[in-house]
């Protein structure tokens, strides 16, 4: 069926003497004829940042104990580093092979959030410039999220403005906590002001739990993607909700990977227990259902997709892969066959991402 559609499209494109890619420009009415696939949590880095992270963690592993460990012990880490840096070759081939049309790129966690202020600001700008160049080289294939240095919230707000108005990026990336501090702390709120002013979402991506939480996750490789990431980022989200971020910024949009980092599963109990001593105007689930969207990154599993369709609805779930940690091919094969309606599949594969990230 899919091949037939491609053949028909190729035929039409040839007949019109147009190259196929220009025929399939984003947001054209023809997109309904082809299942456009957009993946929204796709990781990249630049050599300068990988290098700076390695140098810093060699002396100060406590700045990110999980990443320090991963850089030493994760099998194939050198291949992962090569794939993070590559934006022209293997990555595009993998997307082509799987039939992924567009990848929304974001900087490898922990990004710049473990550096001191000045280094973080400079490397964030460099990452955003390189990302913009890659998008210019592959305008039909990539979108990108703005890296910021929350260490300096005012500068971070300015970088959001530059990223949207000058670089034309699609949203903001925050790799969760910054030096063990969370975004419910009002000193970070200029970042939210900027995101709301420019009407762009913030993708809150996990990172290793901070030193204050780390001990419980230190064994059995629990500190990373198996468990520590989700516990850290879900704790962060709850702090934002209960700390009144969404009373102050009702228009703020947050995107969470990994099917919502476990929060959807807990909403009922969070509402019940928090009602005993709640300072916010509304129940936590109301903010979650109004202000949050989730993605399928690294969680290609039918039951949790079906559950989230019931809890959040089809308009708040987006397809994501988590390349280069997860394969495009396997993720697409899963989503193509997931037991959901074709209408919902199209929303999850591209329509929601087009709306939320302006892709």
- As annotated, the active-site residues are 322
Q: Which residue is nearest to Mn ion (CB)?
A: 322
Closer residue to Mn ion in complex, CB, 101/261: 261
- We find the least distance from the C-beta atom of residue 192 to Mn ion, in angstroms, to be 22
Per CB under 5 A, 125 contacts Mn ion: no
Taking CB under 5 A as the criterion, which residues in 145-174 touch Mn ion?
none
Q: Which of 89, 61, 331 is nearest to 208 (CA)?
A: 61
CA distance 326 to 273: 36
Closer residue to Mn ion in complex, CB, 35/255: 255
Residues in CB range of 141: below 8 A, 6 or more apart: 92, 95, 101, 102, 103
Angle between helical axes of 90-98 and 77-85 (0-180°, round to 10): 90
- We find the least distance from the C-beta atom of residue 258 to Mn ion, in angstroms, to be 8
| CA 131 and chain centroid, separation | 15
Residues in CB range of 326: below 8 A, 6 or more apart: 297, 298, 300
Rounded to 5°, the CA angle 186-190-191 comes to 105
Which pair of tokens denotes residue 132? 């913009």
CB 230 within 8 A of CB 268: no
CA distance 180 to 239: 13
- Tell me the number of residues near Mn ion by CB under 5 A: 1
Closer residue to Mn ion in complex, CB, 171/190: 171
Closer residue to Mn ion in complex, CB, 170/285: 170
Gap between the terminal Cα atoms of the chain: 26
Closer residue to Mn ion in complex, CB, 261/322: 322
- We find the least distance from the C-beta atom of residue 229 to Mn ion, in angstroms, to be 8
Taking CB under 5 A as the criterion, which residues in 313-342 touch Mn ion?
322
Which pair of tokens denotes residue 39? 């993946």
User: Which chain residues interact with Mn ion by CB under 5 A?
Assistant: 322
């Amino acid at each position: 069926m899919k091949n037939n559609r491609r053949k028909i499209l190729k035929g039409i494109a040839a007949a019109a003497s147009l190259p196929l890619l220009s025929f399939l420009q984003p947001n054209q009415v023809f997109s309904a004829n082809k299942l456009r696939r957009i993946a929204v949590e796709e990781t990249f880095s630049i050599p300068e940042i990988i290098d700076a992270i390695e140098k810093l963690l060699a002396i100060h592993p406590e700045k990110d104990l999980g990443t320090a460990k991963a850089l030493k012990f994760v099998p194939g880490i050198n291949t992962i580093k090569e794939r993070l840096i590559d934006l022209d070759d293997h990555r595009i081939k993998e997307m082509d092979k799987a039939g992924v049309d567009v990848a929304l790129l974001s900087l490898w966690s922990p990004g710049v959030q473990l550096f001191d202020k000045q280094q973080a600001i400079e490397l964030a700008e460099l990452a955003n410039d390189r990302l913009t160049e890659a998008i210019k080289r592959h305008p039909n294939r990539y979108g990108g999220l703005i890296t910021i240095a929350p260490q300096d919230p005012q500068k971070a707000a300015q970088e959001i403005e530059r990223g949207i108005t000058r670089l034309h990026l699609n949203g903001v990336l925050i790799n969760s906590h910054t030096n063990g501090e969370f975004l419910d702390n009002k000193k970070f709120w200029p970042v939210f002001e900027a995101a709301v002013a420019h009407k762009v979402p913030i993708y809150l991506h996990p990172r290793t739990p901070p030193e204050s939480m780390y001990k419980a996750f230190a064994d059995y490789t629990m500190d990373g993607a198996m468990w520590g990431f989700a516990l850290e980022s879900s704790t962060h989200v709850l702090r934002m909700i209960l700390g009144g971020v969404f009373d102050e910024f009702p228009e703020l949009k947050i995107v969470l990977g990994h099917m919502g980092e476990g929060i959807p599963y807990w909403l009922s109990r969070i509402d019940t227990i928090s009602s005993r001593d709640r300072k916010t105007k509304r129940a936590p689930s109301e903010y979650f259902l109004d202000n949050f969207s989730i993605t399928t990154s690294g969680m290609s599993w039918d039951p949790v997709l079906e559950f989230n369709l019931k809890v959040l609805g089809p308009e708040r779930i987006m397809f994501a892969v988590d390349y280069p940690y997860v394969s495009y091919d396997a993720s697409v094969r899963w989503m193509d066959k997931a037991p959901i309606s074709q209408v919902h599949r199209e929303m999850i594969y591209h329509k929601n991402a087009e709306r939320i990230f302006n892709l």
